[in-house]
Chains A and B, each alone.
Chain A
């Protein structure tokens, strides 16, 4: 059941990206282009998404467990560290260059156009690179008590 539920959620998420126009990099770049013909649509997408997600999360907070699994895996970190800032800068540059972020990249993969296939392969390579590198660089360098504990499970990461 959790697997089926995940598939349906992915389907709804993908439909939302398609309907909102966010699978079109030109529309995303139109929002990011403050100095051109600015298209504010992305702000409305965010507003709709955050409003509904916040409502659902508020309902979840009042429950003891999700429907198909043992417990809620709420992200448990609230520190602002160098990887968060550095990663966001790198992601922002890549997003600004192509107008595609990970969700729309995967939805667009269905069309199998060459630029999207190239983007997704590079994106997966970047993720694998960070999975390998990150463990040995900044995560080990953190000399806080947190470093003694096992690194946070990927499932508890912010997103």
Chain B
């Protein structure tokens, strides 16, 4: 069972926003995970080190939390491995094609009031809601 947790949600969200604000104020970059990872995977990208450092920070967060007794994240997944792989492909391909994901379009784009990002966020939210409706309830969008 999963309960509604608005306080930890808002607090964690504020930290995500703080990270996005700091990355812009300190390095001039948008904290979009798709752009950071996708740029790293693109041949000819010159600025690799800050990208690797940001990704290392993401992975280090739960490892540091584990030092203080938190369990490592090993989330339960309902989908089969085949569906999980298809989902991963769609997420990777789609976010790169659409130039952003929940962080770049959702958080940073909304914070910049970018029309492009707001449209993208509504589209991927809607597509995800319809997908969940079909998978869980077998109803069409």
Contact = CB atoms under 8 A, between A and B. Distances in A.
Interface of A: 2-27, 29-30, 32-37, 39-42, 44-57, 59-60, 63, 65-75, 77-80, 83-103, 105-116, 118-131, 134, 138, 154-155, 157-159
Interface residues of B, number: 120
Contact of A3 (B49, B66, B115): B49
A contact patch SS:
helix
A119 to B, nearest CB: 4
Contacts of A42: 9
Contacts of A47: 10, 13
A111 B58 CA distance: 12
Contacts, number: 549
Q: Chain B interface mostly helix, strand, loop or mixed?
A: helix
A26 B84 contact: no
Contact of B136 (A36, A46, A60, A125): A36
Interface of B: 2-6, 8-35, 37-39, 41-43, 45, 47, 49-51, 53-66, 70, 72-79, 81, 83-112, 114-117, 119-121, 123-133, 135-137, 139
A53 to B, nearest CB: 4
A72 to B, nearest CB: 4
Given A42-B9, A89-B127, A102-B101, A128 B41 contact: yes
Contact of B103 (A92, A103, A114): A103
A159 B33 contact: yes
Contact of A86 (B98, B101, B132): B98
Contact of A108 (B28, B29, B73, B129): B73
Contact of A127 (B6, B9, B41): B41
A23 B124 CA distance: 18
Contacts of B54: 6-7, 9-10, 13
